[in-house]
Amino acid sequence: MVIFPEGYLNENVKQACGLAKKYNIILIGGYRRLQENPKDRAIIINRMGQVILDRVKYSQTLFVVEEGLKIGHILCDELIIQGINSLEYNDIDLIVHPIGVGMYSKEQFTEWINEATKIASKYNTMVIGTSHADGSFRNMGISIPIAYCINKDGSVVFISENDVRTRIVNFETREVSFASEVNINSSY
């Protein structure tokens, strides 16, 4: 499973579906339909290259069951604005939280980590999120990249502030490694 930041795929959904199928991987993130309003959308693509979740930002939180996991998806500031906005919140295994640009301040960083921790504890689910490595919003000049993973009991698997290295999380052991430390077989 690969998690991308919000908007990362832009309008390249067809290509992403082809890559998911080719490399036998689940892709989760956000994309944009630039000719629509609202533009931002949540997406999950399964290993067969099929879109199994596609919803507009700020709409009801949706869940899918894929490979035995009940996965929910919240985009960026939905974490703060609406949290989990659904009545289907029982037995969630994972909430994925793609974030657009990084945090604007240390206070916002702390607020978002605290809110993700509350959701993990309240719904007894793992929450994992990641932002773009760079990209200050509306020329604010500040962008603190964020990535995190919170266990279902609210304990921290990892929290990354201003560190853009790719992380690999083993969902069973909760071990975290960096992509540069792992021998990735690319012979698919």
- The per-residue pLDDT for range 169-188, each reduced to its tens digit, is 998 899 999 877 665 554 43
3-state SS string over 103-160? ECCHHHHHHHHHHHHHHHHHHCCEEEEECCCCCCHHHCCCCECEEEEECCCCCEEEEE
**28 in a structural domain:** yes
In a domain, 157, yes or no: yes
Q: How far is it, in rounded angstroms, from Cα 99 to Cα 108? A: 13
CB of 38 closer than 8 Å to CB of 57: yes
Classify residue 186: in a domain, yes or no: no
187 lies in some domain: no
Instruction: Look at residues 71, 38, 43, 33 and name the one whose alpha carbon lies nearest to residue 57.
Output: 38
The per-residue pLDDT for 135 is: 57
The CATH number that applies at residue 25 is: 3.60.110.10
* Confidence label for 11 from pLDDT (cuts 50, 70 and 90): confident
State pLDDT tens for residues 99-158: 887 777 889 889 999 999 999 999 999 999 998 876 555 666 677 888 999 999 999 999
Residue 19 lies in a domain: yes
DSSP assignment of 22-45, as one string? Answer: HHT--EEEEEE-TTSSS-EEEEEE
> Does residue 66 sit in helix, strand or coil?
strand
What gap in Å lies between CA 121 and CA 38, rounded to an integer? Answer: 31
Length of the chain, in residues: 188
The answer to whether residue 60 is domain-embedded is: yes
Establish if 47 belongs to a structural domain: yes
Report yes or no on 188 lying in a domain.
no
**pTM of the entire structure?**
0.89
- pLDDT of 51 strictly over 90: yes
Q: Classify the phi-psi angles of 179: left when phi > 0, otherwise alpha if psi is within -120 to 50, otherwise beta.
A: alpha
If one counts the domains in the chain, the total is 1
- Enclosing domain of residue 146: 2-181
The pLDDT tens digits for 62-106 are 999 999 999 999 999 999 999 898 887 789 999 999 988 777 788
Residue with tokens 């959701």: 119
